[in-house]
Amino acid sequence: MREGRSPIAGRSTGDEAIGEPIRFGIVGPGLVGQVHAAALSRIPGARLVAIAGSGPGSARARELAAAHGARVADDLDALIGDGGLDAVIVCTPHPLHAEQAIAAARAGLHVVVEKPMALTAADCTAMIEAAESSGVILSVISQRRWYAPARRVKAAIDEGRIGAPALATLEILGWRGPEYYAMDGWRGTRAGEGGGVLVNQAVHLLDLLCWFLGQPVEVDGWTANVNHPEIEVEDTAVAAVRFANGALASIVASNSQRPGLHGRIHVHGSNGGSVGVETDRGSSFVAGVSLPSEPRNDLWTIPGEEDRLDGWIEEDRLDLAGVDIATHHHELQLREVVAAIRDGRLPAVDGRDGRTTVALMAAIDEASRSGRRIRLDAEIMAR
């Protein structure tokens, strides 16, 4: 249990002790909802029992429910009202996350929210408070934290093998074409998506950046739409960030490079050592449409460890052989969430983690809109 955080109240009547699965519902039967359904199907301690669409007669909800032997609900209210659930996974468009997560938590259900957790730090705080008041778990999907190469970077930093983390570079150079934005009406709109590359593609690596370096405290940034006139939001963002521990970071995130090039983070330490992870080769994947590339450590200069890259690449290739890479890392995170529910503890990625990433994402956007440097409110972020 992290210091200063409330314990998760037990809601069981003893079912966990006899091995009864945690009963999940999914709200939002789209592409990422399908990823969660597939991942849950491989977790013995979990069972998908219900799917909620966005209204009566949702074809996507009926199809997904039929594929997994689940019942169908018209919307979240109906999903909650029907009962028989322990947890809800929110897979709807970003602007709906806060309202729906709060409603589920107030109904006494554990909540898993797809990225981004919400669109503002204030909404994240309201979600955290609702979960704590009800004694339920709130977790945010950050499946790239379960990439073996990302975990190596985290371990090297935590163990002091690069000294203190001093500088990081985050670079996403990808592509999204008109066909991507035409897949759903909410894509590429301010009202439906809440933003562009920052909230949809960059959020994954922003989460890793905060996981590696800690709390961001000061941000300057700029956003632009370089070559997507068909959308209302940014396709490119550039930022400079200062962290509470003194580390600095540069961020370049764009969906404007055709073909997509890569997504990666490099962290440089006070002893001169550098470590890195390439999470994506080419453009970041589209859930349910394309497959993730195999992540790899692409930079490693820690003395005595410089020759380990090739071995790790082969090790990771063998570890991922035979798994469904499109859903595997979601499965690993959901397995941890199930364990946290059973143990009555906070999950590995909780609401405060999600809020830190959202605060950074929102600060970059605010800096661009206001033309001034943004200081993150340490008091609000500590709640």
Dist CA 228 CA 245 (whole Å): 37
Q: Output the pLDDT for position 285.
A: 85
Q: Output the pLDDT for position 382.
A: 56
Q: Output the pLDDT for position 11.
A: 40
Domain segments of the chain: what residues? 16-142+331-350, 144-324+358-370
Q: What is the pLDDT along the chain (383 residues), one digit of tens a residue?
A: 343 344 465 443 333 343 799 999 999 999 999 999 999 999 999 999 999 998 777 899 999 999 999 999 999 999 999 999 999 999 999 999 999 999 999 999 999 999 999 999 999 999 999 999 999 999 999 999 999 999 999 999 999 999 999 999 999 999 999 999 999 999 999 999 999 999 999 999 999 999 999 999 999 999 999 999 999 999 999 999 999 999 999 999 999 999 999 999 999 999 999 999 999 999 988 887 888 899 999 999 999 999 999 999 999 999 999 999 999 999 999 999 999 999 999 999 999 999 999 999 999 999 999 999 999 976 556 55
Q: Output the pLDDT for position 8.
A: 60
Nearest to 86 by CA among 333, 327, 338: 338
Q: Is 3.30.360.10 the CATH number for 144-324+358-370?
A: yes
Dist CA 206 CA 360 (whole Å): 8
Q: How many residues does the chain have?
A: 383
Dist CA 377 CA 304 (whole Å): 41
Q: Output the pLDDT for position 2.
A: 40
Show the 3-state SS of 76-145: HHHHHHHCCCCEEEECCCHHHHHHHHHHHHHCCCEEEECCCCCCCHHHHHHHHHHHHHHCCCEEECCHHH
Whether residue 257 contacts residue 112, with contact meaning beta carbons closer than 8 Å, is answered with no
Q: Output the pLDDT for position 26.
A: 98
Q: Which CATH class is domain 16-142+331-350?
A: alpha beta
Q: Which residue type occupies 99?
A: E
Whether residue 68 contacts residue 23, with contact meaning beta carbons closer than 8 Å, is answered with no
Number of C-alpha atoms within 13 angstroms, CB side, residue 229?
0
Per-residue tokens: 70: 């689940």
Q: Which residues of 37-72 are buried (b: 16+ CB within 10 A; e: fewer)?
A: bbbbeebebbbbbbbbbbeeebebbeebbeebebeb
- List C-alpha distances in Å: 286 to 149, 156, 182, 200: 21, 30, 13, 10
